[in-house]
Structure 1
Amino acid sequence: MDLHTSLWLFQAVQALGLSLWLCIAVLNNLQAFRASLGAVGATMAMAPLRQPPAIDLPLLSRAVHAPAAHRIALVLVLVLQVVAAAAALVGAYSLVIGGAIEPARPWLNLALSAFLGFTFAMLLGGLWFGYWIRQEGLQLTHLVLVLWALLAFVLFNVQWA
């Protein structure tokens, strides 16, 4: 196998894996919308900080208890997830069928931009609501997703030999 083919194969696997992961994320949020809404609501209401032993911080004044705000936040993430999944599917299809990255690149970059957008929304929202204190695993997951998006961007956009 030559270098060009092996690079194409690696990019194709990444594009397909990313698009399937994004599709599953959308499906999960649609299928378990109430559960996702509850998780978003708990984070925005800063409920984990109130669980025993309660952590009394000035940050608690940021808590949002409005279910409508929780729903808006989740819908925003879901819309970005749908855009990311759709663009990733088109990009992966274009890459696999076309056999080259050039026609797929704009779609994959759109997918990665939406992916980074919803991941930053979760990461920055979590930071605002103090989730690093009791939801460290969730914060680490969001950081890893940012890293994945950045590395995928390099993979799809750097001109390889």
Structure 2
Amino acid sequence: MSQELFLAVHALGLAIWLSISVINNCHALGGSTAAIGATMSMAPLKQQPAIDTPLLSRAIDSPTVHRLALLWVLALQTVAAAACWAGCWQLLAVGDLVTARPWLNLALSTFAAFLLSMHLGGLWFGYWIRQQSLQLTHIALLVWVAAAFVVFNMAWA
């Protein structure tokens, strides 16, 4: 019983977290686009004291591209949240981890996909130079995804 409770709490927490991410990005679409735009335009590197690096040639200043990047992340977040809720339903209402597992794995895979999109995109645009806390957040979330995968896929005795 304690294992089922732990799995249910973890799945619900994951589903709620993913849902809040979707809601936040939809509610603050302009702010989220601006945040992505700041990273993609490499604005933090241009702030005083400016950091002169050859990486600045990668900067993308197009608001349209910034919006498309956010829509990509938002689409993945939406799939992850929906799949996680489906997994929660299977786990809680049906009581079967075996049928919940594919949904939870889909949620974790799309969660990892949007995190890696943000992390690798940030790496491309040099965010480790002035946005270290954002990079560490992405890394911590990727660790959470990997740990959740292990938890949901281990053989429970």
Which of the residues 103, 124, 149 maps onto 2:120?
A: 124
Query: SS in structure 2 opposite 1:122?
Result: helix
Q: Which piece of structure 1 moves more, 91-100 or 125-134? A: 91-100
Aligned CA RMSD, in angstroms, stands at 0.6
- TM-score, scaled to structure 1: 0.96
Aligned equivalents of 2:81, 2:144: Cα separation in 1: 15
Aligned equivalents of 1:147, 1:92: Cα separation in 2: 21
For the pair 1:109 / 2:105, whether they are aligned, the reply is yes
Name the structure 2 match of 1:140: 136
Alignment map for 1:79-90 (pairs within 5 Å) = 79-90=75-86
Aligned equivalents of 1:17, 1:30: Cα separation in 2: 20
Name the structure 2 match of 1:61: 57
Which of the residues 53, 56, 76 maps onto 2:72?
A: 76
For the pair 1:34 / 2:30, whether they are aligned, the reply is yes
> CA shift at 1:160, angstroms?
2.2
For the pair 1:149 / 2:157, whether they are aligned, the reply is no
> CA shift at 1:119, angstroms?
0.2
> CA shift at 1:67, angstroms?
1.0
Q: Which runs of 5+ in 2 are unaligned?
A: none
Q: Which runs of 5+ in 1 are unaligned?
A: none
Moved over 2 A (4+): none
Aligned equivalents of 2:5, 2:95: Cα separation in 1: 9
> CA shift at 1:95, angstroms?
0.3
Which of the residues 11, 28, 42 maps onto 1:15?
A: 11
> CA shift at 1:98, angstroms?
1.7
> CA shift at 1:97, angstroms?
1.1
Count of residue pairs the alignment pairs up: 157
> CA shift at 1:152, angstroms?
0.4
Partner deviation per Cα, 1:86-113 (whole Å, 9 max, x = no partner):
0001101110112231110010000000
Q: Is the 1:122–1:142 Cα contact (8 Å) retained in structure 2?
A: yes
> CA shift at 1:72, angstroms?
0.8
Query: SS in structure 2 opposite 1:112?
Result: helix
Aligned equivalents of 2:3, 2:137: Cα separation in 1: 27
Residue identity in the other structure for 1:45: S
Residue identity in the other structure for 1:64: I
